[in-house]
């Protein structure tokens, strides 16, 4: 009896030991990454206190996440922004300001975010628009460097710019406003629906994998054209739509700063308006329709996000997957008399940035409890979710790469030196994982974001929105703090991708406490001469603008303005 008791005790100890090791192995397994990326999405979301847009699934994600309220892109155009945040390098380091070069050839062999995870044992997967297609990603979405298998592109995307928008008389057009009956579309579907189905399929295939995964899903909306299921317009009755609060071009806005929205002018329904160049304006009734269709596109994307997040739950992956939701840049909806992106204003550079880490940003769900049940926006009730863990300090998209690396427990990235063209792996951003692990106690008013935008001339031209590199003659370098948006438009050498910070063409300065919409340019009201002469000798334009803004800040405080 004693011998048997000893034997069973030994077996029990072995069982408990094995169980503890199994639990430890499970807990120590690397976190998966799900990176959800919208296209041209400004923070018009319920979780960002937008009073109009219905985004219940993204709001639900935000309620258990850290929500960065002041996150900014480095250039408000798709290709340059995506290469920037996927390499954690600024456009002057990637040398990509248009769509016409591949950074590994034109600038340096920089390691990308998915490539870094791939080198650390992750299966990396791409669905939809993650890198910008074409030359900017070597016509391969940077495969095989960044991805374990060739990226997925939805077959129906080839119809995106074709004449598929039905007019009242039944004729087909290539329009800006393009609500459709999905069953009538070529292939009977839409690109983001196909992206969602493929993302769900990949999650299913990875649920039992021994390797962690990095899955990036790039939605095509709310990028124009607004080819979306017609039913989403019902969420936004046109009689409830309002114009932008500041629909006029600011009187003191330099010509070089204005974006003439040439891309939407190419659509047949906009051409029919016979608008003058460069200011228009667009008739008010059409402005309301643009805003209606943009908001409806956001709700359409929200539904796709909800389907994917529910699948994450259903496959048992929500407890071990870090989720990021963001965008490549914003989009002007009539503010400053502008439409589209292509500027340094907040409406073009500010993006949503939401990060969920299980057990960190919120407690783990109880057994049987769902974290992300799908919310049907058409049910008519506006779900009330918590606001999540808000961060007010300014952050940048170049911060995402080092932040995700730290959250996943990978080796931290080192900061790039002043010149890093020959350095494959480093970051020009900062990890903000501490703001995710520990709630923000003090709003850091000394945090800055930096953006830039190229122009071919001081005057407004047909190619002002997106000049080719060879045509760039002026670069608008902008710094955004809690209190200011400050921009210098300076001479630029496209051959060497080099600015001349002492060749000032124009300037903008907005005091955000009294001018949050950035409509009153007070640049000419301040004496800049005492600091401008120093800008040419500082190591980088980011340091130059930071130095300048600190000088102006001290001057404002001495006058009692701040």
The neighbouring-strand residues paired with 358 are 362
The alpha carbon of 423 is separated from its chain's Cα centroid by a whole number of angstroms, namely: 25
Spatial distance between the Cα atoms of 484 and 507, rounded to a whole number of angstroms:
13
pTM for the full predicted model: 0.92
Specify the DSSP class assigned to residue 504: E
- Summarize pLDDT for 410-441 with one digit per residue, the tens: 999 999 998 999 999 999 999 999 999 998 88
Residue 529, number of CB atoms within 10 A of its CB: 7
Q: Is 78 a catalytic residue?
A: yes
Distances in Å between the Cα of 378 and the Cα atoms of 44, 51, 231, 374, 419 are 18, 17, 9, 12, 52
Catalytic residue among 78, 165, 178, 426: 78
The pLDDT value given to residue 442: 84
CA dihedral over 396, 402, 405, 408, signed as positive or negative = negative
Question: Distance between CA 242 and CA 426 in Å, rounded?
Answer: 45
Q: Is 496 a catalytic residue?
A: no
pLDDT for the residue 551: 62
Beta strand spans in 494-553 (E): 498-511
Total count of residues recorded for the chain: 562
Tokens of 561: 């303005």
What does the alpha-carbon distance between residue 132 and residue 101 come to, in Å, rounded to a whole number?
11
In tens, the pLDDT along 253-295 reads: 999 999 999 999 999 999 999 999 999 999 999 999 999 999 9
Determine the Cα–Cα distance for residues 437 and 198; give it in Å rounded to an integer: 32
CB 68 within 8 A of CB 347: no
CA–CA separation, 171 vs 120, rounded Å? 53
CB 364 within 8 A of CB 537: no
Cβ(562)–Cβ(552) below 8 Å: no
pLDDT value for 21: 38
Cis peptide before 473 (omega within 30 of 0): no
How much helix, strand and coil, in percent to the nearest 5, is found in the chain? Answer: 35, 20, 45
- For residue 536, how far is the Cα from the chain centroid? 31
Q: How far apart are CA 22 and CA 197, in angstroms?
A: 33
Mean pLDDT by 10 residues, the chain (562 residues): 35 34 48 98 97 96 97 98 98 97 97 98 98 97 98 97 91 97 97 98 96 98 98 98 97 97 97 97 98 98 98 97 98 97 98 97 90 92 81 97 98 95 97 93 88 98 97 97 94 96 93 96 78 52 69 58 52
- Could you give the angle at the alpha carbon of 184 between the alpha carbons of 180 and 187, nearest 5°? 110
At residue 283, the pLDDT reads 98
Tokens representing 89 are 């390098």
Of the candidates 15, 47, 69, 132, the residue annotated as catalytic is: 132
pLDDT of residue 420: 93
């Amino acid at each position: 009896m004693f011998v048997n008791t000893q034997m069973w005790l030994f077996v029990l100890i072995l069982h408990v030991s094995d169980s503890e090791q199994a639990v430890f192995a499970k807990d120590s397994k690397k976190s998966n990454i799900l990176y959800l990326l919208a296209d041209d999405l400004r923070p018009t979301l319920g979780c960002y206190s937008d009073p109009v847009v219905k985004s219940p699934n993204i709001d639900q994600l935000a309620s258990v996440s850290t929500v960065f309220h002041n996150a900014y892109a480095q250039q408000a155009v798709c290709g340059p922004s995506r290469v920037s945040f996927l390499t954690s390098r600024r456009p002057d380091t990637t040398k990509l300001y248009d769509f016409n070069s591949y950074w590994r050839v034109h600038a340096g062999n920089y390691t990308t975010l998915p490539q870094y995870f791939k080198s650390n044992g992750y299966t990396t997967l791409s669905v939809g628009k993650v890198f910008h297609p074409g030359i900017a990603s070597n016509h391969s979405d940077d495969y095989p460097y960044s991805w374990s298998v060739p990226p997925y592109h939805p077959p129906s995307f080839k119809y995106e710019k074709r004449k598929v928008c039905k007019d009242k008389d039944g004729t087909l057009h290539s329009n800006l406003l393009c609500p459709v009956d999905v069953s009538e579309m070529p292939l009977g579907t839409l690109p983001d629906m196909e992206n969602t189905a493929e993302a769900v399929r990949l999650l299913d295939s990875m649920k039992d994998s021994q390797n962690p995964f990095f899955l990036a899903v790039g939605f095509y909306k709310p990028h124009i054209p607004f080819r979306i299921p017609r039913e989403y317009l019902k969420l936004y009755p046109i009689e409830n739509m309002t114009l932008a609060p500041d629909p006029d071009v600011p009187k003191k806005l330099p010509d070089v700063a204005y974006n003439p929205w040439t891309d939407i002018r190419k659509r047949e329904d906009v051409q029919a308006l016979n608008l003058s160049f460069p200011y228009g304006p667009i008739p008010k009734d059409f402005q309301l329709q643009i805003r209606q269709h943009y908001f409806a596109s956001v709700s359409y994307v929200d539904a796709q996000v909800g389907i994917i997040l529910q699948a994450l739950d259903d496959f048992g992956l929500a407890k071990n997957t870090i989720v990021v939701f963001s965008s490549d840049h914003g989009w002007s909806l009539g503010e400053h008399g502008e439409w589209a992106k292509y500027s340094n204003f907040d409406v073009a550079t500010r993006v949503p940035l939401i990060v969920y880490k299980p057990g960190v940003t919120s407690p783990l769900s109880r057994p049987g409890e769902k974290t992300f049940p799908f919310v049907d926006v058409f049910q008519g009730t506006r779900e009330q979710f918590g606001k999540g863990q808000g961060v007010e300090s300014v952050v940048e998209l170049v911060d995402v790469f080092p932040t995700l690396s730290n959250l996943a427990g990978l080796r931290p990235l080192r900061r790039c030196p002043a010149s890093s063209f020959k350095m494959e792996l480093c970051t020009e951003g900062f990890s903000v994982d501490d703001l995710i692990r520990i709630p923000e106690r003090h709003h850091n008013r000394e945090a800055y974001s930096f953006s830039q935008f190229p122009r071919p001339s001081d005057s407004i031209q047909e190619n002002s929105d997106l000049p080719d590199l060879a045509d760039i003659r002026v670069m608008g370098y902008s710094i955004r703090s809690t209190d200011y948006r400050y921009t210098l438009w300076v001479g630029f050498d496209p051959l060497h991708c080099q600015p001349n910070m002492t060749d000032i063409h124009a300037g903008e300065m907005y005091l955000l406490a009294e001018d949050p919409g950035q409509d009153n340019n007070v640049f000419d009201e301040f004496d800049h001469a005492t600091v401008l002469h120093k800008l040419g000798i500082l190591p980088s334009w980011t340091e130059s603008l930071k130095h300048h803004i600190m000088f102006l800040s001290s001057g404002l405080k001495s006058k009692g303005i701040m």
